[in-house]
Amino acid sequence: MFYIVGLGLCDEKDITVRGLEAVKGSTRVYLEAYTSILMVPKERLEAFYGKELIVADRDMVETQSDEILKNADKEDVSLLIVGDPLGATTHTDIVLRARALGIPVRIVNNASIMNAAGVCGLQLYNFGQTVSLVFYTESWKPDSWYDRVKENMANGLHTLLLLDIKVKEQSDENLARGRKIYEPPRYMSIPTAVQQIAETEASRGEGVLDPSTTLAIALSRVGGHTPPPGSPGETIVSGTLEDLLHTPAEAFGEPLHSLVIVGKRLHHLEVEYASEWAVDKVRWREVAEKVYGCALE
Amino acid sequence: MFYIVGLGLCDEKDITVRGLEAVKGSTRVYLEAYTSILMVPKERLEAFYGKELIVADRDMVETQSDEILKNADKEDVSLLIVGDPLGATTHTDIVLRARALGIPVRIVNNASIMNAAGVCGLQLYNFGQTVSLVFYTESWKPDSWYDRVKENMANGLHTLLLLDIKVKEQSDENLARGRKIYEPPRYMSIPTAVQQIAETEASRGEGVLDPSTTLAIALSRVGGHTPPPGSPGETIVSGTLEDLLHTPAEAFGEPLHSLVIVGKRLHHLEVEYASEWAVDKVRWREVAEKVYGCALE
C-alpha cells in the first residue's frame, strides 16, 4: 500500500492516529519538503515516529516517483505531506503513476491552511478561490492574483492568499553554470506581501484593494501550539492593509505566513471575533461598519 | 483550558495525537452531534479515547455554553467537533463566550470536508464559495444556492455542495404541541441532491446546470477507511449530473454525501484523475473536451 499522509500544520503531534499507524508500519517513509514546512526540524519527527525520514524534493516527487513507489505493491510505503495530501496537482501526479503501476493508494487527510484559515473567525463558506502571491523581482511582477481577488470581491467573498515559498532555488549564476548549489530557503512574510499588494493596487489602480479601506487578517504559523524556542506560536493580526503595512515585521514572527483579504459578505460576529487581534480596534470596527456596511452592536 | 478538537472525518483514529492528549487530560469531554457525523458510533470513540462523552446538541452548544465552559479556567475541558472546529459561526459563538469569561481557548485543527474534498483530484485553489443544499419540501424550495453556483461558474470555479443534515427535528405536530419528540436523523443523499438541482435548473431555466453537459463528482464518506460493516468506505462517482441522476442510490451508500460541481477552469490531469470513478468514461472525457474545452491527450 502507498500511503500519502497529511501531517497537519505545526509539529510531530499533528499527525492523526491513523497516519501514525501507517508511518510505523512502513518500510520507507518520505517527507515532502517543498510545498510547505512544519514548525519543527525533521529530527523531531523522526524521534517521535520512530522512523528515519527520506527527504523528497520536487524533482524526486515529480520526476522520480517510481523510486518512491518501488515495491509499494508488496510492502507499505508512506509519503508525508505537510498539511493535507491533495489540493495541488503536484501530488495527484504520483497517485496517477501508482494507479498505472497497479499499486493501491490510501490518502490520510489532515488539516491544511485551506480549512485551518477558519481560526480567524471568518466563515469558510464565504471564501472564494484561493490565490498564490509570488515574490516580485525588479523585472517580474506577475499580478494575475489581482484579477482573482477582484472576482472574489465582486461576489463579496473573502480571499486566502498563500505566500510564496522558495526552496532549493539556484541563483542565476549557479543555474547558468549548472552548479547544484542552492540558495537558503525564503518564505514570503506579511510585510512583503502587503507591500506587493499596495504596489499592484497602485499600478492597476482599480480600487479593488484600497489600503486604507480594505480589511485583512494576517495569519502566522496557523495551528502553532508548541513553537520553536524564541518564537511565538500561532499569531493573528487584523486591520486595514495600511495597518498591517505599518506593523513591525517582528509582530508576525517566523514563517509560514498567509493573508486573508476580507470580502463584503461579513457577519457582525466575524467582525467581533477578529477584533480581538486588531492593530486598532476602533478603526477595525469603523471600517467594518462604514465601508463594509456591517451592522455592529 | 478549553479545547475545541477536530475529529476528522471517519472514525476514532482520525483524531490527531495532540487532540488525543487534550481529550485524555480533560475532566469533561463533549461531543458536538448536529453539524456532522463520524462513521462509527459514540461508544467506539469512548472505548478508544478512554473517556465518557457527553453528547452536546445545538441547544447546548449555542444557548447553554456556560454549562460546557464551567470550570474550564481551572481544569481542561474538551469539545469534540467532527471535521475541523471552525468554519461556521456555530462554534465561534462559544469561543467568544469563553473569551468573555476569561477562559483560554485552544483550537486543535483537523481535516474537514472543505479541504478533504481534494480527494476527488480537483485543485482546491479552483474552488469558489461553498454552498449548502437544504431539503426541499412541497412548499419550500430555497434556491439561493443556485445564484452562488452561478457566480462560481461565471468565474470557471468548482463548487462544493454540502448536503442537508436534519438532526433532532420535531414534526410540525410535535412542535405545535410542545412535545420533545424528535424525528429520526435524515441526511441528504446524492440522488436527492441531484433531483433538487435538476428541479431548480428547470424552474430557473438559466442554463447554469444543464444536466447533460455539467460535470459533477459525488463524494460519499470522504476519508472513510474503516467503514461500518456492510457499507463501503470512501466512494467517489463522477459523471454528468444526468449520469448521477441515473445511478442507483446503492452506488453511493451510507451518508454523509457531498457533491462537487465542476467549473470550467479544468486541468487535463484533473479530468484524467477523476475519470477513474466515471459512470461512463467516454462521456466524461467527451464533455470535458467539448463542453469544458479541456485539451486531453
B216-245 pLDDT, tens per residue? 999 999 998 865 555 568 999 999 999 999
A16-38: b (≥16 Cβ within 10 Å) or e: bbbbbbbbeebebbbbbbbbbbb
- How many pairs of residues across A and B have Cβ atoms under 8 Å apart? 175
Q: Domains in chain A, please, with CATH?
A: 2-111 (3.40.1010.10), 114-290 (3.30.950.10)
Which is nearest to A263 in space by CA: A220, A209, A225? A209
Residues sharing a CB contact under 8 Å with residue B138, sequence separation 6 or more, in sequence order: none
CB contact residues (below 8 A), chain A span 181-220, against chain B:
none
pLDDT at site B225 = 80
Percent over 70 (pLDDT), chain A: 97
pLDDT at site B296 = 87
Amino acid at site A288: A
Q: In this model, does residue B89 exceed pLDDT 80?
A: no
> In this predicted model, which residue has the larger pLDDT, A226 or B154?
B154
ipTM above 0.90, yes or no: yes
pLDDT tier, B170 (very low <50, low <70, confident <90, very high otherwise):
confident
Which residues does chain A have within 8 Å of residue B22's beta carbon, measured at their own beta carbons?
none
Contact B125 A87 (CB under 8 A): yes
pLDDT at site B230 = 57
Q: What is the mean pLDDT of residues B67-95?
A: 90
Contact A118 B84 (CB under 8 A): yes
pLDDT at site B169 = 83
pLDDT at site A286 = 97
Contact A115 B119 (CB under 8 A): no
pLDDT at site A63 = 84
For residue B269, the number of C-alpha atoms closer than 13 Å in the C-beta half-sphere is: 14
Where are the strands (E) in A47-164, listed by range?
54-56, 77-81, 105-108, 131-133, 159-163
Which is nearest to A15 in space by CA: A35, A57, A45, A43? A45
pLDDT at site A88 = 64
Which is nearest to A87 in space by CA: B117, B259, B66, B155? B117
Q: What is the pLDDT of residues A123-146, one digit of tens each?
A: 999 999 999 999 999 999 999 999
CB contact residues (below 8 A), chain B span 101-120, against chain A:
106-112, 114-116, 118-119
Amino acid at site B239: G
Q: Are strands A235-240 and A215-220 parallel, antiparallel or unpaired?
A: antiparallel
A201 within 8 A of A211, measured Cβ to Cβ = yes
Q: What is the mean pLDDT of residues A184-192?
A: 94
A272–chain B Cβ distance below 8 A for any pair: yes
Percent over 90 (pLDDT), chain B: 78
Q: What is the pLDDT of residues B7-23, one digit of tens each?
A: 999 999 999 999 999 99
pLDDT at site A89 = 64
Q: How many CB atoms lie within 10 A of CB B100?
A: 9
pLDDT at site B167 = 83
Which residues does chain B have within 8 Å of residue A277's beta carbon, measured at their own beta carbons?
none
pLDDT at site A226 = 63
Q: What is the mean pLDDT of residues A33-39?
A: 79
Q: What is the pLDDT of residues A192-237, one digit of tens each?
A: 999 999 999 999 999 999 999 999 999 999 998 865 555 568 999 9
For the ranges A282-286, B84-88, B172-176, the one whose mean pLDDT is highest: A282-286
Residues sharing a CB contact under 8 Å with residue B242, sequence separation 6 or more, in sequence order: B211, B212
pLDDT at site B34 = 75
Burial (CB < 10 A; 0-12, 13-18, 19+), residue B55, is: exposed
pLDDT tier, A90 (very low <50, low <70, confident <90, very high otherwise):
confident
Q: What is the pLDDT of residues B192-203, one digit of tens each?
A: 999 999 999 999
Q: How many CB atoms lie within 10 A of CB A184?
A: 7
A128 within 8 A of B129, measured Cβ to Cβ = yes
Amino acid at site A269: L
Q: How many CB atoms lie within 10 A of CB B116?
A: 33
Rounded distance, CA A204 to CA A209, Å?
10
pLDDT tier, B251 (very low <50, low <70, confident <90, very high otherwise):
very high
> In this predicted model, which residue has the larger pLDDT, A39 or B245?
B245
Rounded distance, CA A187 to CA B289, Å?
38
B79 within 8 A of B62, measured Cβ to Cβ = no
CB contact residues (below 8 A), chain B span 69-88, against chain A:
84-88
Question: Which stretch of A111-120, B38-47, B80-89, B139-148 has the lowest confidence by average pLDDT?
Answer: B80-89
> What mean pLDDT value characterizes chain A?
93
Contact A111 B6 (CB under 8 A): yes
Percent over 70 (pLDDT), chain B: 97
Three-state DSSP class for residue B63: helix
pLDDT at site A195 = 98
Question: Which stretch of A200-204, B35-39, B86-90, B261-265 has the lowest confidence by average pLDDT?
Answer: B86-90
pLDDT tier, A282 (very low <50, low <70, confident <90, very high otherwise):
very high
Maximum distance among all alpha carbons in chain B? Answer: 63
pLDDT at site B54 = 96
Strand partners, A166: A186
